[in-house]
Every structure is written in C-alpha cells, then in structure tokens.
Amino acid sequence: MKFYADVHRSKRNDEGYRITYTTDGTAFKHVDSLGEIPAGPGDKLFMDTLPPQHTDGAIELLRRGVEVYYLRRLTLLKKVRGELRLPKSARGDIKALMSIEERWFRRVTEDFLVVRRMILAY
C-alpha cells in the first residue's frame, strides 16, 4: 500500500511539525510522528520533505519494513500544484505528491539517516 504524507510546521508558535497522510486521497489523518503512521512491511511512504526531527520516526518505519521516499526537488511540488490548480494546503500538497512519478522521489536507508544526523550535529 502507498502512503502519501505532507510534513508541515504546526500552527502553534511554529513549534514542531505536523504530518498529514493518506492512502487514497480522500481520507486524511494527522499524526505528530512518522512512527505513528500505520504502515507495515511492504508498504511505501512518499513524503515531501524529511526534517531532521523526524529521523527517529523514519528509522522506526524502515525497521518495520516500510520503504520511505522523499521528494528530490520541492520546486516540483509547487509546479505540479499550480498545474492541477490545487490550494496551498496539506491536502493540496498530498494530492500533488500523488500525481508525481516515483522517479522524482529518493529512497532513504537507515545508514543515510544516521550519517545525515551525524553531519547535522557536527
């Protein structure tokens, strides 16, 4: 099953991030951590961006057998959203993500996330 997620800053003083996700484009749910997404082995998660704060949640998903992908170029999201005349909202972003080909997403591995965390800490 494919999951599509939009990661955006929460409205409360821009503290933290809120994740909106869907599988079908009609029913949207909100979570605070990637680990709360009910994806299982063999599922794929496509997201617009992967903030460093969500590294642990992404590693948790990878250990559950979920393939995690993030968009290579965020400008592509804006372009597709404009072409489809979608609003600039979490739901609009997710619908735009759903129409982007898989080749524009980069698959992440646990090693990549650990090295990225070390680089950001340095």
* pLDDT for the residue 19: 93
What pLDDT digit, counting tens, does each position of 8-43 carry? 887 765 667 889 999 998 899 999 889 999 999 999
Flag whether pLDDT at 93 surpasses 90: yes
pTM over 0.85: yes
Per-residue model confidence as pLDDT tens digits over 54-83: 999 999 999 999 999 999 999 999 999 999
Whether 121 shows a pLDDT value over 90: the answer reads no
Contacts of 45 (CB under 8 A, 6+ apart): 2, 3, 4, 5, 21, 34, 37, 39, 61, 66, 67, 68, 69
Q: Nearest CA to 90 among 10, 2, 24, 16?
A: 10
Nearest to 103 by CA among 82, 76, 78, 122: 76
**How much is the average pLDDT of 71-98?**
92
Please say whether the structural domain 2-121 has been given the CATH code 1.10.3470.
Answer: no
Can you give the residue ranges of every domain in the chain? 2-121
The string of pLDDT tens digits covering residues 102-120 is 999 999 999 999 999 899 8
